Structure 1
Amino acid sequence: MPAEHGDAAEHDRAVTVVDWRDQVLRNPTMKDVAHEARVSLKTVSRHVNGETNIDPALAERISAAIVKLGYRRNLSAASIRPGRTSKTIGLVISDLANPYYSTLARAIESVADAAGYLVTIASSEEEGLRHDRLVDRLMEQRVDGLIVVPPRNAARDWSDVAGPIPPLVFLDRPVPYSAADAVLADNAGGAREAALALASVGARRIAFVGDSLDIYTMRERHAGYAAALAEAGSGVDDSLTITTAHTREQAEHEVGVVLRDDSADAVFAANNRSTIGALLAFQKAGRRLPLVGFDDFETALLGSPPVSVVSQDVELMGRTAAEIVLGRLNGDTSAFATRTLPTQLILRGSERL
């Protein structure tokens, strides 16, 4: 008899251990909340989904149960039901370390957050295959919309992406795909203004310092630079077209070579990293050349003289992309369009010696 009693007690302890482990290892469900609050599952569902015509006493019990159990809605599961969404926008950029993209992401996040959406951000690092994996993963997560900075070399066409594709905006760089919107800056126009500003103060051998021309923005900026040199009557010198400055250090090295060889009398830096690299090269050499950079940056005002730049309204680009996606989600069926935003040339003195 005592042995039987001991076996029963041991059985009770084992049951208790199993129940406790079950509570720890699985996430609480709406059914658990309903049981804790002593209400129907339907009432919990209505409360969780924001309905307000619920008896206040019941709503209070449900809220208390949610806090006690640590219940969270499974938006991924909800998004696969008809009429439900994940309330998430996927953002694929090119380089998380570049302040340009962090500014874009912040602007997108601000607009999305105000509309009740979460932004999931990933970086392709300019790799086509990685970009494709990220897009597929975000679509598997049932994001409601996608904002994408296309990589330098695409691995596949968007027409080959398995649908359905959510509302899609290409940002900073266009893609030949008709079922998406795009938001760009006037890269060619801005670069043309920058090179003309340098030519107007007497520069004739203007170096172009930037990244690979495989990148749409670089190609456009080089085209604007070339147009300005043609207008100024000097023409493009291929030996002064430097397209290997992907990093600040590479730009510093290339501008250092230009200074050592005395091959140029001015520099157009085609992105913010190239501008910073040029400034570091000037500092190391103890002399500088007239300089205009593409993209403004926080420390541009600290130089002597401050750095002249072609400024994109990066925040406006991000906000516009987010507003387009949200508009599509809210029923906008207008024709897909490319919006090209203007740039602004800000002359602060570095364009002169």
Structure 2
Amino acid sequence: MPGVTTSARSRPTMDEVARLAGVSLKTASRVFNGEPHVTERTAAKVHAAADELGFRPNVIARELRRGARSTSVGLLIADVANPFYARVARGVERRLRREGLQLVTASTDEDADLERQLTVEMLERRVCGLLLTTCLTDHAHLEAERRHGVPVAFLDRPPHGITADTVALDNAGGAALATRHLLAQGHRRIGLVGDLSRLPTHRERVAGFEAAMHEAGIADWQRYMRADSHDSESAGRAAADLLALPEPPTALFTTNNRITVGTLRALRDTAQKPALVGFDDFELADLLGVTVVSHSPEQMGESGAARLLDHLHGTPGAPRDERLPVRLVPRGSGERPPPP
């Protein structure tokens, strides 16, 4: 059927499919919507024309016009390049796929303004639910969306200003576990290299570290704390600063995977390496002999998705703050004794 062309820069339209098939636009629409009163021969002509042009119907737009729920769930995470968040997203996606739902993911880069913008964009895309790893300190703006039927759940960090389902780690317990392990090796001067001070995960892990140090009768622990390291480079500088002190720490606790990696780089050429325990397991940590506080990011993602699905199925229950367990994995770095 000559005479029908499509732009190389745009998707073909249903109108072009109808013209190529020699049918009306209404007939082509009936074919793609699966409506009755269309002969098999006509439907075959329409599908053949669609294949030739590369036309694909906009399923989401069609379902929304019918009043159906969107099949997409939005996930906002701090950094999709961080293996921790990549594993969280994998857990979310795995759970949603079983329900026929798709995941749309975006990174906030710990930028509050960007998080607000991305939240609006997700909602404008009519996602049927929203999962957040947030850096905001107020989430009251999401209350109206929830009243209009869009469920919201939080991962890794709790909300502020609203009550909502949260799935996070036992941050304080994990930090205390790591600190007590170092204390048990005989260390008293234990340094902490931490994340951004404004993040609740950082504050909870510092609280667990502080509790364990106070239990051991160590009151001046803060002189060995360096916070606001959010990447491996700044963590390396913070660790180097601690080791350059006149009385350096004999052990270090690093509060996330990237901080641990940066600290390892700082220790690379150090003759007398301090003991080290890191929060979060990471690739090659077993080969490098790094003692870690381990957990399952995939479980966090699956649990958060399950809570969202409860809302979508109409069985939400009361909002829960679920804390996932952590465990210490000794591999050698955390078992070094202090120097004599």
- The total of aligned residue pairs comes to 333
- Cα deviation for residue 145 of structure 1 reads 1.1
Post-superposition Cα deviations, 1:275-313, rounded to whole Å, max 9, x if no partner, equal 11221111122331111100000110122xx11111121
Within 5 Å, give how 1:1-353 maps onto structure 2. Answer: 20=5, 27-29=12-14, 33=17, 48=32, 60-78=44-62, 80-151=64-135, 153-154=136-137, 157-159=140-142, 164=148, 166-178=150-162, 180-261=164-245, 262-303=247-288, 306-353=289-336
Counterpart-to-counterpart distance in 2, 1:332 and 1:50: 32
Aligned residues of 1:88 and 1:118 also touching (Cα < 8 A): yes
Deviations 1:31-88 (A, max 9, x none): 6556666788788667645789997766655543432232223245335435323311
Distance, in Å, in 2 between the alignment partners of 1:229 and 1:105 is 34
Asked if structure 2 preserves the Cα contact closer than 8 Å seen for 1:230 and 1:236, the reply is no
Structure 2 counterpart of 1:203, which letter? H
Q: Say what the alpha-carbon RMSD is for the aligned residues.
A: 3.0
Change (3 A) 1:210 1:226: same
What letter matches 2:277 in structure 1? V
- Aligned-pair identity in percent equals 37
Equivalent residue letter for 1:321: G
> Could you tell me which amino acid in structure 2 is paired with residue 243 of structure 1?
A
Where does residue 8 of structure 1 map in the other structure? none
Counterpart contact for 2:213–2:221, Cα < 8 Å: no
Q: In structure 1, how many angstroms separate the alpha carbons of the residues matched to 2:291 and 2:9?
A: 59
Amino acid at match of 2:283: E
Tell me, which stretches of 5 or more residues in structure 2 are unaligned?
none
User: What do residues 63-116 of structure 1 show as CA deviations (whole Å, max 9, x unaligned)?
Assistant: 434322322232453354353233111111112232111111122222223332
1:152-188 Cα distance to aligned partner (Å, 9 max, x none) = x447633576663611111100013445321111100
Question: Match of 2:301, as an amino acid?
Answer: G
Amino acid at match of 1:84: A
CA contact (8 A) 2:75 2:132 kept: yes
**Distance 1:25-1:243 versus aligned 2 partners, 3 A rule:** closer
Runs of 4 or more above 4 Å deviation: 21-26, 31-62, 159-163
Q: 1:165 to 1:127 in 2, by over 3 A?
A: farther
Q: What is the CA deviation profile of residues 119-157 of structure 1, one whole-angstrom value per residue up to 9, with x for unaligned ones?
A: 211111111111000000110111111111111x44763
Alignment-derived partner of residue 13 in structure 1: none
Hey, what's the Cα distance between the residues in 1 that align with 2:311 and 2:30?
27
- TM-score after normalising by structure 1: 0.83
Q: Which structure ranks higher in relative contact order (CA pairs < 8 Å, sequence separation ≥ 6)?
A: 2
Does the 8 Å contact 1:132/1:155 carry over to 2?
no
Query: Judging changes above 3 Å, is the alpha-carbon distance between structure 1 residues 116 and 60 closer, same or farther for their aligned structure 2 residues?
Result: farther
CA positional deviation for 1:226:
0.6
Tell whether the 8 Å contact from 2:197 to 2:228 is kept in structure 1 after alignment. Answer: no
How much has 1:253 moved relative to structure 2? 1.4
* Structure 1 position 343, deviation (Å): 1.0
Task: Tell me the residue number matched to 1:6.
Answer: none
| 1:263 shift after superposition | 2.1
Letter in 1 for 2:198: D
1:332, CA displacement in angstroms? Answer: 2.2
Specify the code of the residue in structure 1 equivalent to 2:119.
V
Deviations 1:14-38 (A, max 9, x none): xx6xx64689856322x65566667
Amino acid at match of 1:340: R
CA distance in 2, matches of 1:264, 1:138: 46
Shift of 1:328: 2.1
State the Cα distance separating 1:326 from its structure 2 match: 2.6
Structure 1 unaligned runs (5+)?
Answer: 1-15
CA displacement 1:308-335 (0-9 Å, x = unmatched): 1111210100111122223322222322
- Computing the radius of gyration over CA atoms, which structure comes out larger, 1 or 2? 1
